[in-house]
Each structure stands twice: as C-alpha cells, then as structure tokens.
Amino acid sequence: MIVGEDRNIGCIFFILVTKDFKRKERLHCIILSLSGAGKTTLAEAMVKPFIQFKASDVIKVTRFSGPALERMKTSLDGTILFHSQATGQEPTTIRPLLSEGELGLLITEVDDKGNYQSTVMHAEGMPVYLGTTTNPTLDQEFLRRLIERTMDESNEQTRKIKGIQAEEYKWHPPSATSFEFIRQILERICTFKPAESIESVLIPYSSKLSELIPDTVEMRSLFPKFLRLIASIAIVKSICYRGYYTVPASKSTTANVVVATQEDFRDALYCAGEYFFQPLSDASIRILEYLRVNKDLVLDEEEHSKRQPGEFTVNDLTNTDALGMAWGTIRKYVDELETKGLVQVRQVNVPRKTYYVRYVKDPIKPTMLVEDFDTTSWIATEIPGSQLKTIEAPVSPPEPPPVDL
C-alpha cells in the first residue's frame, strides 16, 4: 500500500499511459532514491493496474542484455518496460529504442553452407521505460531520455509509512483493492486508440513558455519532455470527459486534435514542476539572490555616489570570491537576467568593473506563465472551423486534493 507520494503517482501514471500514444508523445521515467526508500514498491504499485488490465503490456525485468533487445521478434510499441534496480551496466542499445523506437544492427551470421554473411537486423517499437535505481551516476545519455523522480525521504513521510506498516499487523476485514477509476481510464484509452485517432496535440501557450523560460542548455532536453507531459494530461482528460476538436484537414476530410488548457499546464507543474523548473538557470538565480542579500555591500564612495534611486552596486571582483565564479562569468549571468527582463543594468566609468543594477520585476513563477492566456480566442483564430466533439459516457475524475504549487 502506498501512502503519500501524490505527485510521483500522478507523474508516473501520465508517463505510463503514453505507451498507447504516438511515439513522439511517449515519455520514460526512472525513480532514484536511497536503498529501502520504497522505489520498487511505488513502481510496482503503478504498473499493477496496467498488469490487471492487460498483463502482456508490462515486461518486468531486473536485467536485460543487448542481444535480447536486438533480437526481439515483436514490436515493443504499446508496452511498459519495468526495469527494477538499474545498476548503470545496462546495454547502450536501450537508448535508441527510447528515443527513436528502432534498432539497426549490422551483424555477421553463418548461413546453411557454413559461410559468413553480413546481415542487418532491425528491432522495432518504443516501450515506455520505468526504472528504479540507487545509482546517482547513471549514464547521462540514458538519463536525458528519462524524467527523473525521487522519493519523499522526509521524516514526516517516514512516519506515515511506519503507520501503514503497523496497520498491516492489525486485523482488518478482507477487501479487494479497487483500481476502478484507473481501469475506466485504461479502458477508454484502449477503445479510443489515441495513437491512431488523435492527429496531434496542440498546446496554445507553448510559444509563450518558450519565450519566458531561460535559454540554458539543459532546456534542450527538459522543455520537450515537459511539453509531452502536458500533452499526456491533455489527451487523457480530453478522451475521458473534456472532449476533443475536429478540424478540417482537406476539402473532404477532418482530423481529431486535442487542445491543452491552462489546467493541464498546472497539473504538469503539480506532478513534476520541481524537476523541470528547478534546473532552469540555477546559476542566474544564485546570482540574483546573492545580489538581493548584498545590495548594500559597502564599496568605495566613488562607486556608491554614482548610484541612482532604486539601484544597487555590483562589483564583479568583489563578488568573485563569494560566488566562486570568475568575474566574466558573473557578468554573463547578470546579462541573462537583463535579457529576461528581470533587471536593468547600467555601467559607468568607474574602476574595478563596477556597474549598477535595478530590479524591474521578480523572477517569473512557473504558475504565472500562462495565467492570462486566452485559449478560447486562440482556438477561434488558429483552428477556425473546428468543432468540439463531446464525450459520451464521460469518465469523471474524483475530487482532486488541494494543490500546493
């Protein structure tokens, strides 16, 4: 039985259901935490309803070899590869399967006459990978294909777990564990076949997100994963109860599209916001907070006398020791803050690489990114002629818990 871990449960569920979506919309996950923290227990609980619904959709392994993947005779599309206790010794052949959905292998085999012949073997299909590990130094190329989750290791969570463990040694009348709501969702996905019936998922505010988040190299892999998580949430909600849109595809045909709402963005933040947004320009945020704390740092009179109202002094050479960065690096990150519109920078002709910074606005909070986006107007403008297709016999969600973003 799982207690707590609400965000992990939501995130992993919306990752696992992508097994039935188009390959470009699939996600993968690894749970990284201390030994005994409950990683495998959580993962097994998450795949259990999928096994109960269709056991052949889940492949459970503790170890796999490269040749095993290369010689798969059936496609791995539509499956969950549940890999317990990843060690870091996994074959590199798993990487292209998770990103491209295929393997091509040039091998030499012996024919019927005993001659060696070169042959190209192909393995097809992109499984949704769910792994657990205690190893924080897994191959980076492998990790970039995954969404990393960690267990709640707080003392409060430990108290909750001990309470559940204690209850196991008390008498309770037998009762069946219910996965009814999840079963209804899986049944709807199975019937609807999103990979075939949904042409695309539209995220109206994707460009706005792209403009507002920092342009750090980490975002090249993080940003598309976050968009796919939003898309997964949008697909599940749309085919279960919210509805989807039919749009003209040509003179005589239409296509089905799902339109993500601001609610889907907020749900993605709730599930995994700290994973996607914590790494965003960590150095810049560190600089910004340092400047806040040290805005009254005393330098010499000449430097302070040139300040204008609302400004504070930044001296690269003085800040170098405190931040552990070269002065050129400090200025690079301050420039980024200026580019993002958080500060205004003014440099004057004073010694010791000094310039003056004024705050324009506070760092953007993720929840504010799409608050004022008008989805209704966007639909009317960007997909004219679209019609909302309502859902018969909707699968209504249970009352959600309070959300703390």
H-state helical runs in 119-193: 140-143, 155-167, 180-192
Q: How many whole angstroms separate alpha carbon 95 and alpha carbon 107?
A: 19
> What is the per-residue DSSP string for 190-238?
HHH-HHHH--EEE-TTHHHHHHHS---TTHHHHHHHHHHHHHHHHHHHI
Q: How many whole angstroms separate alpha carbon 205 and alpha carbon 111?
A: 57
**pLDDT value, residue 403:** 45
Whether 351 shows a pLDDT value over 60: the answer reads no
Digit-coded pLDDT (tens) for 59-85: 999 888 877 787 777 889 999 999 998
**pLDDT value, residue 259:** 95
Q: What integer is the mean pLDDT of 205-232?
A: 84
Q: What integer is the mean pLDDT of 146-161?
A: 88
Among 57-66, 148-157, 225-234, 349-358, the least confident range: 349-358
Residue showing tokens 């990284």: 32
**pLDDT value, residue 298:** 41
Among 244-253, 278-287, 386-395, the least confident range: 278-287
Q: What integer is the mean pLDDT of 211-230?
A: 82
Q: Which residue has the higher pLDDT, 213 or 252?
A: 252
Domains of the chain, CATH where assigned: 1-191 (3.40.50.300), 282-359 (1.10.10.10)
Kindly state the tokens that stand for 107.
């091998």
Residue showing tokens 């459970």: 60
**Kind of pairing between the strands at 29-32 and 128-133:** parallel
What's 239's DSSP letter? I
3-class SS of residue 58: strand
Q: Is the pTM of this model over 0.85?
A: no
Digit-coded pLDDT (tens) for 100-124: 888 877 878 888 888 888 888 777 8
Digit-coded pLDDT (tens) for 282-328: 445 555 555 555 544 444 455 556 667 767 666 656 566 555 656 66
Digit-coded pLDDT (tens) for 158-179: 898 898 889 888 887 765 555 6
Query: What order of strands is seen across the sheet that includes strand 29-32?
Result: 58-61, 80-86, 128-133, 29-32, 147-150
Q: Which residues pair with 246 in a beta bridge?
A: 256, 387
Check if the beta carbon of residue 245 is closer than 8 Å to that of residue 388: yes
State the average pLDDT for the chain.
Answer: 80
The amino acid that residue 250 corresponds to is: S
Q: How many whole angstroms separate alpha carbon 85 and alpha carbon 394?
A: 38
Check if the beta carbon of residue 41 is closer than 8 Å to that of residue 5: no
**pLDDT value, residue 315:** 64
Check if the beta carbon of residue 79 is closer than 8 Å to that of residue 19: yes
